[in-house]
Amino acid sequence: MKSDDLYLRSTSVNDLYPKALLPQTTLHPPTENYRIVSFLNDFRGFWTLFCGLVESAVYLPKLCFIGLVVGFLAGLIYPQNRSLEDLEDLREATVLITGASMGVGEHLAYLFASRGVKLFLTSRSEKRLREVAAHCERLGASKVYYEMANMVNTTNIEEITKAASTKFNNRLDFLILNHALPTRASFWHGKNQDVDDLNLFLQVNFVSYAQLTSSFLPVLKVSRGRVVAISSILARHPFPHFLINSVTKSALESFFVGLRQELAARRDKVSVTLALLGSPISQRKRVNHHDLSSIFNQDPWNETAECIIFGAYDRSREVFCPQWLVYPFSVVLNVPFFRPMLEKFLAFYLEKNY
């Protein structure tokens, strides 16, 4: 597969306009039976509409109550005014960040560097890594190491584990997994290319996360470290046009939630934090082909990075960025009544726009 194929692919869609409705003509005036059948059809339509309105009225108090609860909880847990300067014990911490050459990974590196930590950065772009590492040193990082890595290759994952363990003297306080392939925005057509893309995305966006976490677990247990997996709201509900991304994010969430439970059962003092972002954050070129993710406003990179650092430091189970939008949306998706409503909305949206 060429590297260019990793970027977004837009696909052609069917006609955007519905077929014209041809007027029905009759050669003879309608009979009495025709009038009766027409009346019954109209009555059935009005009855269906009436039942739908009654059903909506029954659920209206519940919807209002749920909305109030969601709004209250979102305001209650919204982070207070905090500063990274308050996190004094971050100094001399050891931090490994994957996908650190751009986007939120780059800004995570800068914010950690400003606190004087020891950094180990990985990415596919060695040139960008050198630039980010140099900037981290200017910001005050005590040590900065970097290594180019392709997460498709299992050998690269083993090399990263050995190199970071050696540089950090078998100590790791923060493992932040942020690498990912560019978002694939394309319908699933069941072709060989779709299956190949699925396997590739599963390896990079999911399996490599599990491999890196497993490799560093012994070191993390000793230092009582923290694992952060960068995910997105696609983990909670699949969206059309982003099927492969939804699959990988859902697998990612299932793995790390299960891992957190197993670590707690074994009394291992390693925390696992899932960071759910409202939309893909990247500097990669992407095609804007009726991009459904645009309904989620992108949080500025610095704010997103701060949100992730505070969540990891507090050993939170989940962090939401931007919290005011992603958290209520995530809660609503857990309400069974809302799922079919969302699916109907998406079906309506696609019918009108594709």
The string of DSSP letters for 77-129 reads HSPPS--GGG-GGGTT-EEEEESTTSHHHHHHHHHHHTTT-EEEEEES-HHHH
Distance CA 267, CA 261 (A): 10
* Per-residue pLDDT at 95: 97
Nearest to 149 by CA among 126, 182, 171, 132: 126
Bridge partner list, 228: 176, 273
Nearest to 210 by CA among 256, 272, 263: 256
Angle (CA) 231 280 284, round 5°: 125
What's domain 84-353's architecture?
Answer: 3-Layer(aba) Sandwich (3.40)
Nearest to 110 by CA among 297, 326, 308: 308
φ/ψ (deg, to 5) at 26: -125, 145
- At residue 287, the 3 state secondary structure works out as coil
Distance CA 257, CA 245 (A): 18
Cis peptide before 280 (omega within 30 of 0): no
Beta strands in the chain (DSSP E): 94-98, 118-123, 143-148, 174-177, 226-232, 271-277, 318-321
As averages over each run of 10 residues, the pLDDT of the chain (354 residues) reads 42 38 40 49 52 50 54 53 77 93 92 94 92 93 93 88 93 95 76 88 94 96 95 74 84 94 94 82 37 43 87 90 60 61 63 62
Distance CA 44, CA 67 (A): 33
Across the beta sheet with 226-232, what order do the strands follow?
A: 143-148, 118-123, 94-98, 174-177, 226-232, 271-277, 318-321
- At residue 218, the 3 state secondary structure works out as helix
* Per-residue pLDDT at 83: 78
Distance CA 341, CA 195 (A): 30
Distance CA 347, CA 240 (A): 9
